Amino acid sequence: MASFFDRAAIITDGDLLTTDASPGKQPPSSVPNLWRLSTVHRVEELKSVVRMGPIWAAGILVITGSSQLGTFSLQQASTMDRRVAPHLSSFQIPAGSMTVFTLLPMVITLFVYDRALVPLARRYTGLDRGISFLHRMGIGFTIAVTASFVSGFVERHRREAAAAGGTTEAGTAPLSAYWLVPQYALHGIAEAFTSVGHLEFMYDQAPESMRSTATALFWLSISLGSYVSTLLITVVHQWSAGPDGSNWLPDNINHGKLDYFYWVVTLLQVMNLVYYLICARRYTFKPVQHHKAEEGEGKSTVELQENV
């Protein structure tokens, strides 16, 4: 792959254009045809972005898993008892406000990570940021798998509660919406590790002239994760369709198999985690220059550090 891109900087026939000589000016000279020839610097920049591609792609399925918080988890909450204090007040938490149980754990995780985990990890790794971007993302990927796995069991319990309470046909479940807090919280914790680590990785490892492009690629992965979620739902609808028109994801989720869908997402995320671990192990960090002044001589030296 690297040698393929190197060809763009090798001069071949037709890569140079000859300028016409004119009276009183210098003789004809050759200038590069920028449509056919590139500088070594630009080639190396492109190779840096391509090298980040596999790690970038691994973040797509994580967003696919967390996208369910705004769709099926929201639908689950709308069928459950959302009273803040069932025996004291009739006030209900709006189903759309359940995302507060994602945001709060995410903010708390970021605070604890920066104030406690980073200083502790710095003692063992010697890195200013505590752990590398790839380790941080790997932890987030693992927590995201756990979140989807737990979601499946919570949904099964919710559906069994609806059957036991005789509310299957009504599309409700006599179960507190607080049962959904674990999956919301786990997704929030996972995002604190994954999204922040992913964005920092893209920004740090991209060439300086392409950091805005790398940031745009991060947001593109979020968009693609949502599209993949839509595609996955469509595929599951068609694949699980029965002769009577039933499927895993009907309008009344009490009649469906939403837990199976969560476990399909879990399986995909496990495969994605394995893929990520392989890519992370093979990834080579961009060397970082460190200028050090030599004592007593007034000279400076440059060291290259690859572990960031």
Using alpha carbons only, how large is the chain's radius of gyration in Å? Answer: 27
According to the model, what pLDDT value does residue 243 have?
Answer: 85
DSSP conformation letters of 56-105: HHHHHHHHHHHGGGGTHHHHHHHHSB-BSSTTT---B--GGGGGHHHHHH
**What is the band of 302 on the pLDDT scale with cuts at 50, 70, 90?**
very low
Residue ranges of domains in the chain, CATH in brackets: 59-284 (1.20.1250.20)
Q: Per residue in 73-127, pLDDT tens?
A: 999 999 999 988 877 777 888 998 999 999 999 999 999 999 999 999 888 888 8
- The Cα 125–Cα 9 span in angstroms is 39
CA nearest neighbour of 95 among 114, 82, 110:
82
Task: Locate 291 and state its tokens.
Answer: 């200028």
Residue 299 phi/psi, 5-degree rounding, is -105, 160
Task: Locate 267 and state its tokens.
Answer: 């399986």
Whether the Cβ atoms of residue 279 and residue 55 lie closer than 8 Å to each other: yes
**What is the band of 6 on the pLDDT scale with cuts at 50, 70, 90?**
low
C-alpha distances (whole Å) from 86 to each of 93, 142, 163 are 11, 34, 21
Q: How many CB atoms lie within 10 A of CB 166?
A: 9
Query: Above 60 in pLDDT, residue 306?
Result: no
- The Cα 206–Cα 213 span in angstroms is 8
Across 236-260, b (16+ Cβ under 10 Å) vs e yields beeebeeeeeebbbbeebbebbbbb
Contacts of 153 (CB under 8 A, 6+ apart): 259
- Please state which of the ranges 34-43, 83-92, 115-124, 139-148 shows the lowest mean pLDDT: 34-43
What pTM does this model have? Answer: 0.83
Contacts of 85 (CB under 8 A, 6+ apart): 91
C-alpha distances (whole Å) from 37 to each of 3, 10, 18, 43, 89 are 15, 7, 14, 10, 72
According to the model, what pLDDT value does residue 261 have?
Answer: 96
SS3 call for 291: strand
Ramachandran category for residue 191: left, alpha or beta (phi over 0 → left; psi -120 to 50 → alpha): alpha
Average pLDDT value for the chain: 84
Whether the Cβ atoms of residue 61 and residue 141 lie closer than 8 Å to each other: no
Whether the Cβ atoms of residue 51 and residue 287 lie closer than 8 Å to each other: no
SS3 call for 248: coil
Task: Locate 11 and state its tokens.
Answer: 């001069």
Q: Per residue in 250-270, pLDDT tens?
A: 999 999 999 999 999 999 999
Task: Locate 113 and state its tokens.
Answer: 């990570």
Residue 303 phi/psi, 5-degree rounding, is -115, 145
Q: Per residue in 191-244, pLDDT tens?
A: 999 999 999 999 888 888 888 888 999 999 999 999 999 999 999 999 998 888
